[in-house]
Structure 1
């Protein structure tokens, strides 16, 4: 279970997140919507452990990771979290297969098993025939699909996706949203999708709106 309790974050004295609280059960997938600039990406970065809250608790499977030191937080991100962010962060010196297999390597799983898992996920996002391609050969939409495959590779407990369909055509957007939902629910994981798209939001189990006053059903 993920519990977010009374979360606050400010920048240069300006409040961005105020009193954010929510709870996710295993197998649950939620979408967070809101106007541009309201703090959706900030909230996702805080939940991901990439930014520290000024106040509040982040509890994943009973562990308050807002209080962890950097080494422990790095291990938690490696083992339990999967990220799909707008900047992709695809490594240019690795093939697509290697990029997707990277989270498995970091957990000590290598060899043919990791390769097969990466190839299966590339096939699921429609890039099965591009496993040996290099990132420089891809469009923005194709890199987004690689980022989604990589986020799912190590079967994380919590999947965080920031506008994952922003660079995709409707057909591929529907494909990856279906994949995200299926993986989250079948694995008993949890998922948070930040999006401006009403169509993407409808793929989730419930939709929350972030406003300057907080997070609301």
Structure 2
């Protein structure tokens, strides 16, 4: 479970997040919408342990972030979080299989078992026959499917997707959202989708709107 309680964060004296609270259960997938500058990226950074709140509680599976040092937060990101970005962040000098297996390498898992897991995820996103291809050979929609496979390969507890369809045409965006939704639910992970798109938000189980007063929905 992800627990956020009375979270506050400000920058240069300007409040960005105030008294924000939410809970997310295993298998639940929520979309967070809101105007630019309202704090969506700040919230994702806090959940990812890349930033610290000024006050409030944030915990994943009972582990309170306040009790974790930087090394422990790095391990949490490595072991329990999966990320899907708008800009893909696929490494051009690695094959698709190597890109997907990367989170397992970072956990110290190597060899045949790690490669089999990466190939299984590539198969799940419909790219099994492209495992040894290079990113430059893919379309934008295909690269985002690789990003989803990479985000799920290490079986994370929580998947964070930051505008994952922002660079895609409507057809590919719909396919990527369907794949992301199906993958999160099938794995029993929790998912948070941050998006400006009302159409993208509809793919989630519920939609929360982030305002200066907190989350509404």
User: Do the structures match in fold with TM over 0.5?
Assistant: yes
Please tell me whether the aligned partners of residues 86 and 165 of structure 2 are also in contact (alpha carbons under 8 angstroms).
no
* Range with greater deviation from structure 2 (120-129 or 73-82): 120-129
* Range with greater deviation from structure 2 (157-166 or 101-110): 101-110
**1:42 aligns to 2:42 (yes or no):** yes
Distance 1:43 1:171 in 2: 29
In the alignment, what sits opposite 1:29? 29
Please tell me whether the aligned partners of residues 30 and 205 of structure 1 are also in contact (alpha carbons under 8 angstroms).
yes
In the alignment, what sits opposite 1:61? 61
In the alignment, what sits opposite 2:214? 214
* Range with greater deviation from structure 2 (72-81 or 138-147): 138-147
Please tell me whether the aligned partners of residues 88 and 143 of structure 1 are also in contact (alpha carbons under 8 angstroms).
yes
Please tell me whether the aligned partners of residues 81 and 158 of structure 2 are also in contact (alpha carbons under 8 angstroms).
yes
**1:181 aligns to 2:178 (yes or no):** no
**What are the ranges of 5 or more consecutive residues in structure 2 without an aligned counterpart?**
none
In the alignment, what sits opposite 1:129? 129
In the alignment, what sits opposite 1:164? 164
Distance 1:60 1:48 in 2: 10
Q: How many residues align?
A: 217
**1:140: how far off?**
4.1
RMSD of aligned alpha carbons:
1.8
**1:32: how far off?**
0.3
User: TM-score, normalized by length of structure 1?
Assistant: 0.91
**1:119 aligns to 2:119 (yes or no):** yes
Distance 2:80 2:57 in 1: 17
**1:169: how far off?**
2.8
Distance 1:44 1:167 in 2: 19
Distance 2:176 2:198 in 1: 15
**1:112: how far off?**
2.5
Distance 2:89 2:159 in 1: 16
**What are the ranges of 5 or more consecutive residues in structure 1 without an aligned counterpart?**
none
In the alignment, what sits opposite 1:76? 76
